Amino acid sequence: MTRPLRADAARNRRLLLAAAADEFAERGLDASIADIARRAGIGKGTVFRHFATKEDLIAAIVLDRVEVLIETGDHLLEAEDSGEALLEFLSVAAEQRQQRDLSFLQGASGGNAEVSRVQARLQETIDALVGRARDQGAVRDDVTGTDLFLLMCAPNYVAGYAPGAPPDLWRRYLAIIFDGLRPQGAHPLPHPAPRL
């Protein structure tokens, strides 16, 4: 169904996705296709040749990112220290969004079937990571994979409100949140974990 792209088309596709990610990061979802095209150094029409719709473009970005995370997570399932593994996973997730928070894109591609499927797949991976960590006592008992799925983007979000801050300020907030996930000194949680 998806035949290999011509060399130049593949290059354009890459340029386009990169430019779009940058532009969305800087301007949010309202970034215009025209600006993205200009940034990628290609024509407006070319954007639509690659992605029939702005939503499709967004979905493609999200897909890219989610797939990388799945792979990362699956690798980390084999690490010795399950607590470290989970922390590492969250770090990779945050690093991905380092430029600026792109998590809102996730919401934007809600309708997209493929995105939903891959997100479910990511959820499974996270469930496994959290399960192991919980079993080994690396994270508190009452925390679930869904919780982590939701918390995943928080460090970038928090750091994003500090304008001139170093780009990896998120590490500070990931550390705080992760301390909140440890069993030591955990207070009971209101509300059960949600289901998605």
Partner DNA sequence: AATGAATGAGTCTTCATTCAT
Partner DNA sequence: GATGAATGAAGACTCATTCAT
* Binding residues for a second copy (CB under 8 A): 30, 103, 106-107, 143, 146-147, 149-151, 153-154, 157-159, 161-166, 168-169, 171-173, 175-182, 184-187, 189-191, 193-194, 196
What residues line the site for DNA (CB under 7 A)?
A: 5-9, 12, 30-35, 42-50, 52-55
Which of a second copy, DNA, none interacts with 25 (beta carbon under 5 to 8 A by kind)? none
Among residues 144, 125, 128, 133, the alpha carbon closest in space to that of 87 is found at 133
Which of a second copy, DNA, none interacts with 91 (beta carbon under 5 to 8 A by kind)? none
Nearest distance, CB of residue 62 and a second copy, angstroms: 13
Nearest distance, CB of residue 154 and a second copy, angstroms: 5
Largest CA distance in the chain: 57
Residue closer to DNA (CB basis): 49 or 135: 49
Residue burial 46-76, b: 16+ Cβ < 10 Å; e: rest: bbeebbeebeebbbbbbbebbeebbebbeeb
What DSSP character marks residue 162? S
* 3-state DSSP assignment of residue 174: helix
Residue closer to DNA (CB basis): 9 or 162: 9
Q: Distance between CA 134 and CA 128 in Å, rounded?
A: 10
Residue closer to a second copy (CB basis): 78 or 184: 184
Nearest distance, CB of residue 34 and a second copy, angstroms: 11
Residues with Cβ within 8 Å of residue 75, at least 6 apart in sequence: none
Residue closer to DNA (CB basis): 29 or 120: 29
What is 42-101 written as a DSSP string?
S-HHHHHHH-SSHHHHHHHHHHHHHHHHHHHHHHHTT-S-HHHHHHHHHHHHHHHT-SS-
- One-letter amino acid for residue 35 of the chain: D
Which of a second copy, DNA, none interacts with 6 (beta carbon under 5 to 8 A by kind)? DNA
Nearest distance, CB of residue 137 and DNA, angstroms: 48
Residue closer to a second copy (CB basis): 38 or 173: 173
Nearest distance, CB of residue 30 and DNA, angstroms: 6
